[in-house]
């Protein structure tokens, strides 16, 4: 499921369980189904917030990397995810990571009607409007952990820093076309150097 969005996972699950998607009358009905799923998923996840914090796994260097990037001057840091906005917010806040990102300008494929590549462009536009600045594509970085996310970075006009902390190996991420590949996020100096080198 790496790099996939909540709606993709939902509709694939329907198809795998014998639901004939042709029975859906129109796009509006599909949107209602996704909205209903998102609401139920958000309620279920919120009810398990304490369990998420206790049993979830914060990857080594994640908090330190977010803090380090948040300290880079003239940098807007947000989220581009396959989750809905409420679920992404809950996951980040469970580990205290939400304080490092501006969720108002993020991209949430579980809530927004765009695939991740286009959503990256939308998130950049949101940041430009909020901060009244122009953000060049070459100065936009997508920290990714799947080949699909590397592809989304390319489509969205961002540079990709792929991290082999998920299911994808360093070789798979490099083969997907990542601009840089890191084994993990424990060396914040390297990450900051990659981001600031474009300035």
pLDDT in tens, 132-191: 999 999 899 999 999 989 999 999 999 999 999 888 999 999 999 999 999 999 999 999
Residue predicted with more confidence, 195 or 57 = 195
pLDDT-derived band at 23 (thresholds 50, 70, 90) equals low
Q: What is the pLDDT of residue 67?
A: 97
pLDDT of residue 154: 94
- Distance CA(41)–CA(10), nearest Å, equals 11
Residue 171, token pair as written in the block: 């070789």
**Cα dihedral angle (18, 152, 72, 130), rounded to 10 degrees?**
-80
Angle at 96 between CA 76 and CA 77, to 5 degrees: 10
pLDDT tens per residue across span 26-83 = 666 666 776 777 777 767 777 777 777 788 888 899 999 999 999 999 999 999 988 8
Picking from 47, 60, 57, 80, the residue whose alpha carbon sits closest to that of residue 149 is: 80
Region label for 155, one of left (φ > 0), alpha (ψ between -120 and 50) or beta (otherwise): alpha
Question: pTM for this structure?
Answer: 0.78
Residue ranges and CATH numbers for the domains of the chain are 54-196 (3.40.50.1000)
Which residues neighbour 195 within 8 Å (Cβ) at sequence distance 6 or greater? 69, 72, 75, 141, 161
What is the model's pLDDT at position 5? 67
| Confidence (pLDDT) at 75 | 94
- The whole-angstrom separation of Cα 120 and Cα 141 is 10
Does residue 198 surpass a pLDDT of 90? no
Q: What is the C-alpha to C-alpha distance for residues 151 and 160, in angstroms, rounded to an integer?
A: 9
């Amino acid at each position: 499921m790496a790099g996939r969005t909540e709606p993709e996972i939902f509709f694939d699950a329907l198809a795998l369980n014998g639901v004939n998607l042709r029975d859906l009358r129109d796009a509006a009905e599909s949107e209602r189904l996704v909205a209903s799923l998102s609401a139920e998923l958000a309620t279920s996840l919120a009810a398990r917030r304490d369990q998420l914090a206790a049993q979830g796994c914060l990857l080594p260097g994640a908090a330190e990397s977010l803090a380090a990037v948040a300290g880079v001057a003239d940098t807007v840091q947000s989220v581009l995810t396959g989750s809905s906005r409420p679920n992404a917010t809950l996951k980040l806040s469970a580990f205290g990571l939400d304080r490092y990102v501006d969720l108002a300008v993020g991209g949430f494929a579980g809530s927004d009607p765009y695939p991740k590549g286009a959503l990256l462009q939308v998130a950049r536009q949101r940041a430009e409007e909020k901060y009244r600045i122009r953000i060049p594509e070459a100065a936009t970085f997508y920290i990714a952990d799947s080949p699909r996310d590397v592809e989304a970075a390319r489509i969205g006009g961002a540079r990709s820093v792929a991290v082999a902390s998920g299911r994808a190996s360093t070789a798979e991420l490099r083969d997907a076309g990542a601009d840089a590949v890191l084994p993990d996020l424990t060396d914040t100096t390297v990450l900051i150097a990659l981001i600031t080198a474009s300035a």
